[in-house]
Amino acid sequence: AQSVTQPDIHITVSEGASLELRCNYSYGATPYLFWYVQSPGQGLQLLLKYFSGDTLVQGIKGFEAEFKRSQSSFNLRKPSVHWSDAAEYFCAVGGVQGAQKLVFGQGTRLTINP
Amino acid sequence: GAGVSQTPSNKVTEKGKYVELRCDPISGHTALYWYRQSLGQGPEFLIYFQGTGAADDSGLPNDRFFAVRPEGSVSTLKIQRTERGDSAVYLCASSLAGTGTDTQYFGPGTRLTVL
């Protein structure tokens, strides 16, 4: 069965520092890949998605992600974080074997130090 | 425009009771999804509707869980004989056409607590 692994449960970075959140998936073919953010009391919001083509994907709020087939990874990056980026981040895969459902990772909680 | 809405935002019930959770998708979206998010976990898929029919219900944990979408818009997730383990945030999402590349737009969720 397909699975998504986010190795870091909790990450703390200083405001203005760079950020990389890791995501690995387990599936033979290239699935559709997504990053969502969940702020307290808010619904999940899509940051970016990858289906094919250019492996570096730009998203909202200054985020980007890079698909690396050889590593089965889809890591999320931001060059300079802001205090408002503190939230829970979820990587997800979809479209596996034609299914429409999303399979989510466990999530990474991001804390920003002032 | 309006996003996905879910009611109630919070529901507290006693073990063994019946509950209904409602989801109003974005207008015009044909696909609707239910997920369940336990504390400290990512959302887990429950069921997917394309129009009025359940196209994939492989995530429903047992026959106490049932969902309907009779007119292809609003959906209701029904849980019979609730158990303490059912406590979680129930998320609803909708997408325009239900293809794998569609963006799923999520509602704020219903927090269900079973005492």
Average pLDDT, chain B: 95
Q: Let me know: does A23 contact A46? Beta carbons within 8 Å.
A: no
Q: Would you list the DSSP string of B3-61?
A: --EEE-SEEEE-TT--EEEEEE--TT--EEEEEEE-TTS--EEEEEEETTEEEE-TT--
- Cβ contact (<8 Å) for A100 and B106? no
Average pLDDT over residues A47-61: 93
Residue B24 has pLDDT above 80, yes or no: yes
- Higher pLDDT: B98 or A55? It is A55
Average pLDDT over residues B50-77: 95
Of the CA atoms within 13 Å of residue A14, those in its CB half-sphere come to 2
What is the structure's pLDDT at A1?
67
Average pLDDT over residues B21-40: 96
pLDDT tens figures, A2-12: 789 999 999 99
CB-CB neighbors (< 8 A) of B35 in chain A? 102, 104
- Cβ contact (<8 Å) for B106 and A4? no
Residue B1 has pLDDT above 80, yes or no: no
Q: Of the given ranges (A68-72, A76-80, B11-15), which has the lowest mean pLDDT?
A: A68-72
Q: What is the DSSP letter of A29?
A: S
What is the structure's pLDDT at A35?
98
Q: Let me know: does A14 contact A39? Beta carbons within 8 Å.
A: no
What is the structure's pLDDT at B70?
95
pLDDT tens figures, B32-55: 999 999 999 999 999 999 999 999
CB-CB neighbors (< 8 A) of A100 in chain B? 31, 33, 48, 50, 55-56, 98-100, 102
Top residue of B44, B106, B111 to mutate, by most chain A CBs within 10 Å, is B106
What is the structure's pLDDT at A52?
87
Q: Collect all residues from A whose CB is shorter than 8 A from any CB in B.
A: 4, 32, 36, 41-46, 49, 51, 90, 92, 94-95, 98-107
Average pLDDT, chain A: 92
